[in-house]
Every structure is written in structure tokens, then in C-alpha cells.
């Protein structure tokens, strides 16, 4: 293995405890791997070159743990983090596994369930902050419906909003350094999940009491399940200052949430994503929310984790080559040729610019005759990716 592709903490790669810890259960079959102890996962991931681990409250502390058990588990885990120089940059709440959440958490019809979900999340926020997290993810996997007669659409949006507002006020009151990242998914485990895409989330955020504290956590698999372009959603979130976190994995379109090893399916889409994050020098962690195939034993799990990071670094190197390729850059320079006068007119509405715009004598037929060279550009991209250039 070339050292160039060896992950290091400075690359800021993180994994959820639930990702490498995924035991391979699916709706048709039981676990295929024994559970991994969180402290062992910390050690193994640090040996592979990761920067940190992220977790749900119950990935670390069992749902029914007593306060004393909780404190013992947390102090043992903190020791493992310190021993291996690992961080917990992000935390989240498990609001989907226990049967109490079968009809949702913040959007369950039963107010007792909604209140319990808020109580559980307050405790989980405290846990995340205690471990050093500065990003808190909300993935509302059970916030949805199969029976549309069962819930009133606007109520579910309102309840979701009230919960988010409750938590932003709590975080401010506590003086925590914590921002929220909302993660969308179109379906699974619910027939339909509310706020199903990153675009829905971006609008919802603007309706909150403290929108500045809340951004998104787009996931490659989830946008792809919805048939959408992940990179376009990521770019929009970034441009709005809302790309607080990211879930990297891979996915075949229109299927169940596969959470595949990063780069394993859509190489070109993964490439443009990595290129984007690196070109804009995005300062977030490169978090992998994926898991090993069900066919794997523990060694396969570490092969999977190493593969996610190595593939990212390989694509990063390909992005560097793309950016330095004279022929590609020549085509891009032509495609991106600017027109300061016209762009100045379009940038801001004024009555004067309307007058000027109306006077320009465009020749649409001539403009339309120009070929744009995208065939060549895309072929050159393919050649960079396949190592021919």
C-alpha cells in the first residue's frame, strides 16, 4: 500500500460506533457477527488512522442502564478515547430502536411518547457534550407514516419544530458549544419519512427559533434512494452555510438503505463529492455512515473501514490530478469564460439594468450553435479516474 493513501488523524475520518459495530442483522436474517465493545472499536479505528468515533446514546450506554452503570461505562470509554487519542466530534440519539418509538418520536401521536423522546434526547445531548461532541445529529427514522389517515401533516411539522426549538433553547441555556445537523431520508424504516430530503430540511431550518444553530447532515445513500443527486444537495447546503456534517457511504438508486462502503458503487459521484469537499476546503469531518457486507467476519469489517478511508484519499489524489490536467483546465477555462458587463447587469435588479438589458441585441441562433465540449470533458474525467491520465 502506498503511504500516500494511508489515513491519518489530520484527514479527519470518523466512523459511527454503529457502523463498524453493525452485526449484519436484516429484516430476513439474524446477526452474523458478534457485537464489538466500544472501547475495542476505539482502539481498532485509531490503529487504522481514524480521527474519531461518533455515537448514539445507546451505542454506548444501554437503554435500561442505571445512572451508576452509565457513569462507569462513560468513564471507561473516556479512558479509551484518551489512551488512543480519539475524539467524539458528533453524537446523536437513538429514537428508533425501542418499540416505544414504533409510531415516531417527536411526531408520535401519543404525547407521552413525544415527551419521552424529548427527555431521552436531553440526556443524550448531555452525554454527547460530556464526550466532547460539538455536532448533534437528528435522524428521524421513525418520524413518518404508513397510514396517512393516522396523522395530520401540519401537526407533524409543528411537533418536529417544537422539539428542535426546545433543544436549541436548552443548549443555549446550558452554554453548550453544540450545533445541530438534521439528516433526511425518504423512507425506511417508515413507509414515508417526514422531511424526506436535504432540501426539505433546509427550508424547515429557516422556520426555527435559532436557525443559525441548525444545519444539515446529508447522506449519500439517502439522497440517492430518492433518486436525487447527492453532490447537488451537498453543494446547496454548503452554499447556504448549512453543511454542518456529512454521512459518506454508497448506494444503488431506488433500493433499501444499503449504506455501502464509500466509493464502492458510484465512483464518479464519489469523485465529484470528494473533489468538491477538497476544493472548497470544507472544514467538517469526513464521517462514514456505512457498514460491511453481511458476508464479512470481523476482519472484513476492518477491511471495510480501511477501504472507506483509502478510497476517499485515492479520489482526493484523482481530484488533484484533475485540477492539474492542462487539457481539462483548458476546457474548463473556456466553459467558465466570464462576461463582467452582462454578469454585472444580472447580479442586482435596478430599473437602470432593466433598461440596459432590454437594449441588448442578442443573437440566440448564433449562441445556440456553439458546442460546449462536455463529451470531451466527461471522457477526460473518466480517463483520470481510470488511471489512463
**Binding residues vs ligand GLT (CB under 6 A):** 18, 56, 92, 137, 139, 183, 219, 247, 257, 289
Please pick, from the candidates 143, 219, 250, 265, the single residue that binds Mn ion as defined by CB under 5 A. 219
Find the residue with minimal CB distance to ligand GLT. 139
Establish whether 59 is a catalytic residue.
yes
Which residues lie below 8 Å from residue 249, measured CB to CB, with a gap of 6+?
A: 219, 220, 221, 258, 259, 260, 261, 262, 288, 289, 290, 308
Torsion sign (Cα): 209, 197, 118, 146: positive
* CB closer to ligand GLT out of 136 and 204: 136
Check residue 223 for interaction with Mn ion (CB under 5 A). Answer: no
According to DSSP, the β-strands at 13-16 and 179-183 are: unpaired
Cβ 291 to ligand GLT shortest distance, Å: 8
Cβ 27 to ligand GLT shortest distance, Å: 14
Please pick, from the candidates 57, 223, 257, 265, the single residue that binds Mn ion as defined by CB under 5 A. 257
Q: Per CB under 5 A, which of residues 165..194 are in contact with Mn ion? A: none
* CB closer to ligand GLT out of 219 and 223: 219
Piece of the chain touching Mn ion by CB under 5 A; list 246-254, 291-299, 312-320, 379-387: 246-254
Check residue 259 for interaction with Mn ion (CB under 5 A). Answer: yes
Torsional class of 5: left (φ above 0), alpha (ψ -120 to 50), beta (otherwise) = alpha
Please pick, from the candidates 221, 228, 274, 328, the single residue that binds Mn ion as defined by CB under 5 A. 221
Q: Can you list the pairs that 115-121 forms with residues at least 24 positions away whose Cβ atoms lie under 8 Å?
A: 117/163, 118/163, 118/166, 118/167, 120/57, 120/93, 120/95, 121/93, 121/95, 121/163, 121/167
Establish whether 361 is a catalytic residue.
no
Cβ 375 to ligand GLT shortest distance, Å: 36
Q: How far is CA 232 from CA 197, 235, 382, in A?
A: 12, 5, 20
* CB closer to ligand GLT out of 7 and 16: 16
Tell me which of Mn ion, ligand GLT, none is bound by residue 137, counting a contact when its beta carbon lies within the kind-specific cut-off of 5 to 8 angstroms.
ligand GLT
* CB closer to ligand GLT out of 242 and 318: 242
Q: CA nearest 136: which of 123, 149, 150, 155?
A: 123
Cβ 185 to ligand GLT shortest distance, Å: 7
Catalytic residue among 59, 247, 250, 259: 59
Catalytic residue among 56, 222, 287, 291: 56
Check residue 247 for interaction with Mn ion (CB under 5 A). Answer: yes
Cβ 67 to Mn ion shortest distance, Å: 29
Piece of the chain touching Mn ion by CB under 5 A; list 60-68, 164-172, 245-253, 357-365: 245-253
* CB closer to ligand GLT out of 250 and 289: 289
Which positions from 272 to 301 touch Mn ion by CB under 5 A, shown as an x/- string?
-----------------x------------
* CB closer to ligand GLT out of 87 and 318: 87
Check residue 195 for interaction with Mn ion (CB under 5 A). Answer: no
* CB closer to Mn ion out of 292 and 385: 292
Cβ 251 to Mn ion shortest distance, Å: 8
Cβ 9 to ligand GLT shortest distance, Å: 22
By annotation, the residues acting in catalysis are: 56, 59
- Residues of this chain that interact with Mn ion (CB under 5 A) are 219, 221, 247, 257, 259, 289
Amino acid at each position: 500500500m502506498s503511504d500516500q493513501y494511508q489515513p491519518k488523524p489530520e484527514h479527519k475520518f470518523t466512523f459511527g460506533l454503529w457502523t463498524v459495530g453493525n452485526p449484519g442483522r436484516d429484516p430476513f436474517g439474524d446477526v452474523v457477527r458478534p457485537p464489538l465493545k466500544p472501547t475495542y472499536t476505539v482502539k481498532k479505528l485509531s490503529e487504522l488512522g481514524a480521527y474519531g468515533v461518533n455515537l448514539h446514546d445507546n451505542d454506548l450506554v444501554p437503554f435500561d442502564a442505571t445512572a451508576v452503570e452509565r457513569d462507569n461505562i462513560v468513564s471507561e470509554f473516556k479512558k479509551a478515547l484518551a489512551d488512543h487519542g480519539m475524539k467524539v466530534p458528533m453524537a446523536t440519539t437513538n429514537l428508533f430502536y425501542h418499540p416505544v418509538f414504533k409510531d415516531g418520536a417527536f411526531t408520535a401521536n401519543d404525547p407521552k411518547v413525544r415527551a419521552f423522546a424529548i427527555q431521552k434526547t436531553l440526556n443524550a445531548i448531555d452525554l454527547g457534550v460530556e464526550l466532547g461532541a460539538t455536532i448533534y445529529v437528528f435522524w428521524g427514522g421513525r418520524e413518518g407514516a404508513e397510514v396517512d389517515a393516522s396523522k395530520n401533516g401540519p401537526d407533524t411539522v409543528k411537533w418536529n419544530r417544537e422539539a428542535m426549538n426546545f433543544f436549541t433553547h436548552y443548549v443555549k441555556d446550558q452554554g453548550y458549544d453544540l450545533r445541530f445537523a438534521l439528516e433526511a431520508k425518504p423512507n425506511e424504516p417508515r413507509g414515508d419519512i417526514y422531511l424526506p430530503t436535504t432540501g426539505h430540511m433546509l427550508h424547515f431550518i429557516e422556520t426555527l427559533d435559532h436557525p443559525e444553530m441548525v444545519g444539515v447532515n446529508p447522506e449519500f445513500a439517502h439522497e440517492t434512494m430518492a433518486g436525487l443527486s447527492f453532490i447537488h444537495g451537498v453543494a446547496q447546503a454548503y452554499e447556504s452555510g448549512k453543511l454542518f456534517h456529512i454521512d459518506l457511504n454508497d448506494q444503488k438508486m431506488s433500493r433499501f438503505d444499503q449504506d455501502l462502503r464509500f466509493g464502492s458503487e458510484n465512483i464518479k459521484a464519489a469523485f465529484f463529492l470528494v473533489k468538491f469537499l477538497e476544493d472548497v476546503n470544507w472544514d467538517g469531518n469526513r464521517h462514514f455512515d456505512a457498514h460491511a457486507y453481511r458476508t464479512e467476519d470481523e476482519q472484513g469489517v476492518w477491511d471495510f473501514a480501511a477501504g472507506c478511508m483509502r478510497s476517499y484519499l485515492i479520489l482526493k489524489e484523482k481530484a488533484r490530478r484533475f485540477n492539474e490536467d492542462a487539457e481539462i483546465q483548458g476546457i474548463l477555462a473556456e466553459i467558465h469564460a466570464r462576461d463582467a458587463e452582462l454578469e454585472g447587469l444580472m447580479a442586482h435588479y435596478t430599473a437602470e439594468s432593466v433598461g440596459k438589458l432590454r437594449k441588448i441585441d442578442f443573437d440566440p441562433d448564433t449562441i445556440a450553435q456553439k458546442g460546449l465540449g462536455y463529451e470531451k470533458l466527461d471522457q477526460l474525467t473518466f480517463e483520470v479516474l481510470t488511471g489512463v491520465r
